[in-house]
Amino acid sequence: MATFRAVSRAARSVTWRNGAARLSMAAAKGGAANSTATKDAGAAVEAVDAPPLPVVWAGPGPLDTQGVRCEEVVVKVNNESVSRFENATNKAESFSHERPPIMPFDLAWVMDARMNKSGIERRCAEYGTRRSIKKNWQAAWLLRAVTCVDLTTLAGDDTPGKVDRLCAKAVNPVRRDILRDLGVSDALAQQIKCGAVCVYPSRVADAVKALKGTGIPVASVATGFPAGQIKHEHKLEEIRQCVADGATEIDIVINRQAALCGDWETVHGECAEFREACGDAHMKAILAVGELATLTNIHRASLTCMMAGADFIKTSTGKEKTNAALPNTLVMARAVRDYLQTTGYRVGLKVAGGVTSAKAVLAYQALMKEELGHEWLHADLFRIGASTLVTDIERQLHHQSTGQYAASYYMPLS
């Protein structure tokens, strides 16, 4: 059953719901409601889990849908999954769950990228407004976000005690009384843990010891983080030492000098050597988007790192003036999709730096779901690098369960 709602304002919002799909259309000012079907299905059709609602239409006149009828809007069964990209136009015959290999460098593919900045910004402006998630659905999305967080401490005052404290928070990121009030079972509550703990190389052994038996991986930054201004052989040795100390995920920084000079072959060659030094440890390639100057460079860096075998591409070190933002994340997500459709390999994406609020993380989750599919809402393909985000999510969940906001100091280990 379709549902239409109208609000008595000059700018009216008309919403169509049918099962698991919603088509939002903007109404004209002061007259009959008008809408224009967008060419971008991703911008017009948003997958939501909501039951059918009764028909309610209180508009000023007959609804003009510009020739688009509800029964003509078809949402595929797998619309929320990566399988929606499986079509005859893909170069890849099928999509693989195997780890991305090191691929030969294809300069023509890298240089083919052209970004429409105004279009990207217009697209990103919708995520915080039209992609609104409320009430129990919001609580569920935030709990999923917690499981994707790389809880991070990268400061000069890091000590073994501080790392132990961080690891304890990673094991129990949300107060158990809040989870019980939300109706989360004890068995499920035990599964709500952070995706990883990220530290400096000198603190890897401390984190491994603190997380023993928890199943939470230890990630370490390397290769001269954050600037990367050390010799290449020193970068390789730092990776090997981190792996030897027990790190199973390595966050490397790319050569920004080579990237800014357009020497993408050097960037690819160095990252490929980093991947070999990682061995079985997963490699996250930090692009440092705030230092790459243009969205086109971000797309080119993304493709180059994926060709070099990166398991994840990551926005920022968190130390630049400009860190993770929806526009640069959208560019990287489109690069991941392009790589998937061309090679068949799935590459993860990590946003880091400046993601400090529950509201912000919901926008990133909406972006990932729409651009790549619900597989990129899980920790094996999506990560959020943060140090204070979990506390804000915990406060939001407390509000959901009690109706009141708690100060951050009421949250343990905040």
Same domain, 162 and 267: yes
Same domain, 246 and 342: yes
Strand ranges for 160-274 from DSSP E: 196-199, 218-221, 249-253
Torsions phi, psi for 19 (to 5 deg) = 65, -110
What CA–CA distances, in Å, run from 367 to 4, 179, 186, 326, 373? 25, 26, 31, 8, 9
Cβ proximity of 291 and 320 under 8 Å: yes
Same domain, 209 and 67: no
| pLDDT computed for residue 364 by the predictor | 96
Same domain, 297 and 402: yes
Whether residue 64 lies inside any domain: the answer is yes
| Residues classed as catalytic | 251, 314, 350
**Spatial distance between the Cα atoms of 376 and 178, rounded to a whole number of angstroms:** 26
Whether residue 347 lies inside any domain: the answer is yes
Whether residue 92 lies inside any domain: the answer is no
Same domain, 30 and 113: no
The domain that holds 382 is classified in CATH as: 3.20.20.70
Beta strand 45-47 with 196-199 is unpaired
Same domain, 147 and 222: yes
Whether residue 124 lies inside any domain: the answer is yes
- Locate 236 and state its tokens: 């390789």
Identify residue 264 by its one-letter amino acid code.
Answer: W
Whether residue 88 lies inside any domain: the answer is no
Whether residue 96 lies inside any domain: the answer is no
The secondary structure of residue 344, as a DSSP letter, is -
The number of folded domains in the chain is: 2
Same domain, 52 and 158: no
User: What is the pTM (predicted TM-score) of this model?
Assistant: 0.80
| pLDDT computed for residue 13 by the predictor | 33
Q: Last residue of some domain: 33, 54, 75?
A: 75
Whether residue 17 lies inside any domain: the answer is yes
Which residues are CB-neighbours of 88 under 8 A, at least 6 positions away?
none
Which residues are CB-neighbours of 199 under 8 A, at least 6 positions away?
152, 153, 154, 158, 163, 166, 206, 207, 218, 219, 220, 221
Residue 50: CA count within 13 A, CB half-sphere: 21
Same domain, 278 and 136: yes
> Domain limits at 55?
1-75
| pLDDT computed for residue 92 by the predictor | 80
The per-residue pLDDT string of the chain (414 residues; one tens digit each, 9 = 90 and over) reads 333 333 333 333 333 333 333 333 333 334 433 333 333 434 333 333 444 433 333 444 444 545 555 555 555 556 678 877 877 777 887 888 899 999 999 999 999 988 999 999 999 988 877 777 888 999 999 999 999 999 999 999 999 999 999 999 999 999 999 999 999 999 999 999 999 999 999 999 999 999 999 999 999 999 999 999 999 999 999 999 999 999 999 999 999 999 999 999 999 999 999 999 999 999 999 999 999 999 999 999 999 999 999 999 999 999 988 899 999 999 999 999 999 999 999 999 999 998 999 999 999 999 999 999 999 999 999 999 999 999 999 999 999 999 998 888 888 874
Q: Which residues pair with 2 in a beta bridge?
A: none
| pLDDT computed for residue 79 by the predictor | 66
Cβ proximity of 140 and 377 under 8 Å: no
**Spatial distance between the Cα atoms of 342 and 38, rounded to a whole number of angstroms:** 26
Whether residue 90 lies inside any domain: the answer is no
Same domain, 43 and 112: no
